[in-house]
Chain A
């Protein structure tokens, strides 16, 4: 446009949608004001005039986009507001901008976030109902034929929802960097959570000790994240760009900085970023979001710092460094031992996983049993039974990379279950190969 404004090295799209008229409750961290100061900073910086930074409004996701990923009880229509469709639609718009080459990179700065929403959804947990990254991933696969995707989740809370949705998917490498689950919601994300039977070693958790700062994040990035991305060779790298590792975040105990976020983003070099959490709305988000945007666009980030930033405050102890080195080594070992489906198994064999899922926003529990149906040729379909809040969900999910035999097996099982359906029970066939969501 002009030589009087900076020029982005990589054309970058921003879907900046602060939803100033939506909140969970007026004083909830997820309230109208959350992205106000971020919007103000971005606009004041003049990013709208920077050559190579493009702004897009979000689209509304369709219910089919939600149903491709989630099993919602009672239904996606009943659980989601327009705000959720817009937030998911913002992520989809980011993906579309990149896939249709409007831009090279895109960042959806949208709310509400999504990474605590699991496959089965009975309500809001951890401020999330719809997993907007997962919805974007399946949209990318459905509409753009993308197969191998890596998600690096840099939110301070474990991305338990995203992990749950892709747990048995060897075409998706999920790496989550977060504060140790023994000290923070949702209390998961330990290193033994490493993937389902058909995707062992494709879920990599990096639980970091409280107080981890730039040094610790650099270490896991350099030693684990980058080598794993190199080895996995994804078609796309996504970043669930939560910003609550920041030293000023009120809900967490980490020591990360805007400079750190910018460097982390430069190193990971994601194709698409989606905002997740981050609740230091004045002291962190305006600067961390700006740092991430500039890093994506290949612009100078050296002047992006909090007004009270002083690097001397963020020196890590040798003890902590040692601890993080151990975590890195475990992660490398887990990934080195990864294996996809086991060709030794027989069709119809299964692995059963039980889970209790707590919905913290309104306060109820869901008990869930998931059956991973093993297959010698593909990841196999899954059957899930989940009950809570007066609802009973009985779902059959055919993953996008399933073989035709598993697809047929899931259909047969669905038909049998539909016949035997109990009074409160909802039986669902979620066939991602045929893009069908059928409910009885």
Chain B
């Protein structure tokens, strides 16, 4: 099977052509952020030449949606939000067209009161008068009962785009649901244009293979399906690098992946060979969301970071110094880790200028010694960031006695480093962590390989209350009645069916990777002094992994 992986970064776009696990070709072109589809098509052309027709699938990791959010190029969205009792919702900051509706849904998904029709009508009339194209509807607890959101969506059906909160995620967290819905609705026009341009361009090149885009959760989604959920393609870069490291060095143990760049280092964690996920989702432009994502952290440490000397030792980053002295001309104004690497002959560059830059830090220290110390300090800083991340994962809230007693801290046994300066830093990283550090072959195109090798991911959540007789699987908009005897086995069947439904909706053909059930909760409900039923919560996922070859 021939797969193309494209990773659009901040400066360059990388492309690889794989046959199974082996790399047939790679290509790189500079990025024009105003014409991403053009960049991707040009890269495909350069990568494939005359072989376009033989490709079996194309996977894209693009910065389109991330850039649209960061640059404020989203559609104006008309937001209808029912907050109900709780935190005062006035803090929610999602554009000029946010209307709070009355009524509420309670924590068990019971409808306390529907929003009054007059408010809804007035809001929609106002959105329409303003010429808004995209509508977002969100209620608190819609993951327990999507009916109000569904009703509102029906009433807003005359607008070209409507996003419902419950369709995007079955997880709790109302503010995140609001922001996710807003972002998704706001990205629709841009993503659609992008998608159409890609399809046209690909057709012109003679590529007939199915197109998928990379998600932040280390999985893929067919391009066509992504038009309905463009928010899923936000921040796919770190997920490409994590999956790339896994593809280059597959192993089944606890390990750390470092993607070391010019300005930042992205850190990813693996437990037993599986990448760890964020508990809820990514935070983008300060807004927390329910966009499923791998647990990655970006720290301001890179080859081009500014290095300073203080009483407490070297301070590296988080500011970027600019182009390192070793690679530039003109006045030398400061030192970077890259200069240290050049001084130690671990990287090509102007060694004289690099040494000069290090002398700015400590005039009386031989540059080689300063260089070694800077790189050691770099390794230590990364180690501290990883330790903090491991601690944060360990400290995530648990809710049962058994879970509390059985908690285990992640114990990394190896470091996998990719990115430009990775090879040059290998010995310092190994020393800092006191662990083996591997820099895999082809690490400079790890992200594109990650994009290529990634398989689809899916997830769905179920909440059943046999005492109230209701079942809810928000991702597929399901809200139906169940009998008193509904149990965990039934829940597994309902969820497996939901996953199949989502797979079909996404246009995924063939056999799915195994569905895994996680986060089981089952509790008897008692009213008065007798059992009335059960509350069951369950999640199912096809977790991120490498596609078979």
Residues in A lying within 8 Å of B, measured CB to CB: 1-6, 16-22, 26-27, 31-33, 36-37, 39-41, 43-50, 55-58, 82-83, 86, 282, 286-287, 290, 294, 299-300, 302-307, 309
Contact = CB atoms under 8 A, between A and B. Distances in A.
Nearest to B91: A6
A299 B88 CA distance: 9
Contact of A58 (B93, B107, B140, B404): B404
Nearest to A54: B395
A33 B525 contact: yes
B179 A41 contact: no
Interface string B375-401: 000000000000000000001011111
B151 interface: no
Given A20-B521, A302-B88, A305-B85, A46 B288 contact: yes
Interface stretch (B169-177, B310-318, B348-356): B169-177
A26 B84 contact: no
B127 interface: no
Nearest to A6: B91
Contact of B86 (A36, A39, A303): A303
Contact of B286 (A3, A39, A306, A307): A3
Given A27-B530, A86-B401, A44 B93 contact: no
Interface of B: 83-89, 91-93, 104, 106-108, 112-113, 140-141, 172-176, 179, 279-280, 283, 286-288, 395, 397-402, 404-405, 407, 521, 523-526, 529-531, 535
B93 A22 contact: no
B399 A26 contact: no
B521 A303 contact: no
A27 B533 CA distance: 12
A5 B288 contact: yes
Contacts of B85: 287, 303-307, 309
A305 B113 CA distance: 14
Pick from B108, B176, B399 the residue with the most CB of A within 10 Å. Answer: B399
Given A5-B91, A33-B535, A300-B88, A41 B107 contact: yes
B119 to A, nearest CB: 17
A305 B108 CA distance: 16
A58 to B, nearest CB: 7
B88 A4 contact: no
A305 B399 CA distance: 25
Contacts of B107: 37, 40-41, 44, 282, 286
Contacts of B175: 4-5, 45-46, 49
Contacts of A44: 86, 107, 140-141, 172-174
Contacts of A48: 173, 279-280, 397
Given A44-B173, A46-B288, A57 B397 contact: yes
A287 B531 CA distance: 24
6 contacts: A4-B288, A16-B399, A18-B399, A21-B400, A26-B531, A27-B526
B378 to A, nearest CB: 27
Given A19-B400, A27-B531, A33 B86 contact: no
A299 B399 CA distance: 25
Contacts of A306: 85
B401 to A, nearest CB: 5
Contact of B176 (A3, A18, A22, A49): A49
A50 B395 CA distance: 17
B174 A45 contact: yes
Pick from B84, B93, B107, B112 the residue with the most CB of A within 10 Å. Answer: B107
Given A4-B179, A37-B107, A57-B397, A45 B404 contact: no
Pick from B401, B405, B524 the residue with the most CB of A within 10 Å. Answer: B401
A307 to B, nearest CB: 4
Contact of A31 (B179, B399, B400, B524): B524
A364 to B, nearest CB: 22
A33 B87 contact: no
A307 B398 contact: no
Contacts of A303: 83, 85-89
Given A37-B108, A82-B405, A57 B395 contact: yes
A41 B399 contact: no
A50 B88 CA distance: 12
A282 to B, nearest CB: 7
A-B pairs, top 8 by smallest CB distance, nearest first, are: A2-B286, A46-B175, A300-B88, A307-B112, A44-B172, A21-B400, A303-B88, A40-B107
B539 to A, nearest CB: 14
Contacts of B140: 44
Contacts of B86: 41, 44-45, 290, 303-304
Given A4-B93, A44-B107, A17 B404 contact: yes
Contacts of A49: 173, 175-176, 280, 288
A100 to B, nearest CB: 15
B395 A56 contact: yes
Contacts of B173: 43-44, 46, 48-49
Nearest to B407: A57
A47 B530 CA distance: 33
Contacts of A32: 523-524
Nearest to A286: B107
Contacts of A286: 107
A14 to B, nearest CB: 9
Given A5-B288, A303-B88, A55 B525 contact: no
B400 A2 contact: no
Pick from B85, B106, B140, B402 the residue with the most CB of A within 10 Å. Answer: B85
